[in-house]
A and B are shown apart, each in its own frame.
Chain A
Amino acid sequence: MKLNIKSGKVDMSHGSGGRAMMQLIKELFAKHLDNEYLRQGNDGACFPVAAGRMVMASDGHVISPLFFPGGDIGSLAVHGTVNDVAMSGAKPLYLSASFILEEGYPLADLERIVMSMAEAAKSAGVSVITGDTKVVEQGKGDGVFITTTGVGTVPAGVNISGERAQVGDAILISGSIGDHGVAILSKRENLEFETTIESDSAALHGLAANMIQAVPDIHCLRDPTRGGLATTLNELAQQSAVGVQLNESAIPVKPQVAAACELLGLDPLYIANEGKLIAICSQADAENLLSAMRDHPLGKEAAIIGTVVEDTHHLVQMETRFGGQRVVDFLAGEQLPRIC
């Protein structure tokens, strides 16, 4: 008897290692994520390794809602880990995906998520070669949690790392900030507002590869996810023991993102992005890098937004659109909408 995806729900037997679980894997996961490794049906995937260096990165995905404008937890999981691997300058190859499912979750929705994952993986040129499934009792999960781990190979001569930012370097962003966070917020209960903003969730390794080809000596790459541009720049400033001077007028923000932030009292600098990257390179390389970014579909709105400066306090500071200076600190706790 085939798995009843149309109206069936996840139940405890799907995680117990027995026939029900095998059926779920075969008729849902492996069916859509299909590749030679999954077809082998082993617990682990054995693959050849190139000589040189590899990168491994891991992410847990607990986003809510699971489906949002511009994506879902499945595509987000693939993009997130592909991007982490790509930020070290590596070519992503393989992913693992562990699912923790909540008892009662509709199989039809699970299939949508897995199909979305498969699509994202295919577009990114990576395969999900191994994984795991567990089920928790109703009330103990949020529908679906996904943990992905990815591996990739780093080409020789590429040395991209958070502590390599140097005084005088240029700081670039690949496009507008705050899109993902605003798209998610627009679907949250009690905050409903209508917007055409969609999540920018995307795999950035193609863009990153082009950038490295144009400017092999990129110092740093990082994607500003949770905590936004501000938090990521603060992390880099700390790691490299430098300061940052930003130019607010140069930072691209979509008008609707700016408007949603005004409405809720939020700052776009702290809002998550899932399809953007920050690059730091020497001042001399900046224009070349900018061109390479703008030539790629995911970098059309790329901009030079600041400079790395000398600063014993390792602060990120910004010249405001208004002409004054402000400090852009680490995010303290979660950013909450405010009335004041």
Chain B
Amino acid sequence: MKYIDEFRDQAQAKAIAAAIAREARPEHHYRLMEFCGGHTHAIFRYGVPDLMPDNVEFVHGPGCPVCVLPIGRLDEAMQMVEKHEVILCTYGDMMRVPGGKRRSLMQAKADGADVRMVYSTQDALKIARDHPDKQVVFFAIGFETTTPPTAVAIKHAKQEGLKNFSVFCNHLLTPAALGALLDAETQVAIDGFLGPSHVSTIIGSAAYEPFAQKYNKPIVIAGFEPLDVMQSTLMAIRLLNDGRNIVENEYTRAVTPEGNRKAQALMSEVFELRDTFEWRGLGLIPESALKLRHEFSEFDAEMRFPVQAQPVTDVKGCECPAILRGQKKPQDCKLFGTVCTPENPMGSCMVSSEGACAAHWSYGRFRGAA
């Protein structure tokens, strides 16, 4: 596969690993946060930590939209499908996340709720067209990569005058999360960041510059393949060694400084900022999430299907909040591997396959013990 296989080459990996080992100063411990869940997954899937010297460590960040979605929002979606009997369309990632009372959408489906997994918002539109007698709600999650596809669908729905399609919007903004993380009182010693690949394709690498400047941390926009991650790590180490707190772009084949203007315009056209939004693990963050603009409010599922927002607390002992902030590791959680496993996830860090806990369980849980 072009633009994929070349970026997974083992010989290159060894060479870059050797360069990292050479250039990482032995007296320094480098803690790099890979913000994006997709990176967490890739790092573990390819065994990248094995190729790093001991003093280079990856810290898993909160860039997992499934992980940071508060349980209460999932419950609202469940209320929509169960009380209002809509057809709820969702991406596969959300199907097994446990909500309040530990019930997931998959279990609601088993109980008779019309929950349908879709690959694309276009599929949800098609379901709406095919079932004019039923209400279809699309459960929108994701950062800026996934938001433009929702915007396109809403515009199509408006153009077509679809009366039975609406969106339950939980789209989040990456820079806000980055800021919240860096503003946190309990500071985690993060030296630098590997920035998300595909969010950056949309928002552009320039979007990160204010953060590099304000918080004095280098940020390297890293591509998605393992060689990209390694090269980005090398670039971050070099920046740290030279004391340069700037933004560098490793993923130049898909990311430009200004990003995808067309997609950005579409997002602004359809969505606006919520004053505040609760992020699991990070608390309330102002201007960090999106809702539909007034002109599109007929497609806002929250207006069409008012549901009771119940605050739901995390399971006692669940360390997802600390893990999402990079303050603790999966192994530090008492529930990890005992009560909390992929078959029986207590929190979303375990359910989402890119959550730090699921990734660690699947790919690396005996790494230290060997």
Contacts and interface: CB of A to CB of B under 8 A. Distances in A.
Given a CB threshold of 8 Å, the question of whether A touches B is answered with yes
Interface of A: 190-191, 255, 258-259, 262, 264-265, 313, 315, 319-327, 329, 332-333, 336-340
B343 A313 contact: no
A249 to B, nearest CB: 8
B117 A336 contact: yes
A324 B362 contact: no
Contacts of B123: 190
A320 B45 CA distance: 8
Contact of B47 (A191, A259, A326, A332): A326
Contacts of A265: 92
A332 B142 CA distance: 23
Contacts, number: 97
A259 B116 CA distance: 24
Contacts of A190: 116-119, 123
A339 B116 CA distance: 15
19 contacts: A191-B119, A258-B1, A259-B1, A264-B119, A265-B92, A313-B366, A322-B51, A323-B10, A323-B17, A324-B49, A325-B50, A326-B364, A329-B362, A332-B343, A336-B95, A338-B92, A339-B93, A339-B142, A339-B146
Question: Per DSSP, are chain A's interface residues mostly helix, strand or loop, or mixed?
Answer: loop
B84 interface: no
A338 B119 CA distance: 8
Interface residues on B, range: 35 or more
A322 B8 contact: yes
B225 to A, nearest CB: 9
Q: For A190, A321, A325, A339, which residue has the most chain B Cβ atoms within 10 angstroms?
A: A339
A333 B14 CA distance: 35
Contact of B366 (A255, A327, A337, A339): A327
Contact of A340 (B1, B51, B65, B361): B65
A323 B366 contact: no
Interface string B102-122: 000010000000001111000
Contacts of B48: 322, 324
B119 A327 contact: no
B92 A339 contact: yes
A336 B92 CA distance: 6
Contacts of A337: 92, 117, 119
Contacts of A338: 91-93, 353-354
B129 interface: no
A139 B95 CA distance: 24
A337 B342 CA distance: 16
B66 interface: yes
Interface in B343-360: 343, 352-354
Interface in B4-46: 4, 8, 10, 13-14, 17, 37-38, 41, 44-46
Contacts of B146: 339
B93 A323 contact: no
Nearest to A263: B119
Nearest to A255: B1
A195 to B, nearest CB: 14
Given A313-B366, A336-B117, A340-B38, A326 B92 contact: no
Contacts of A313: 366
Nearest to A264: B119
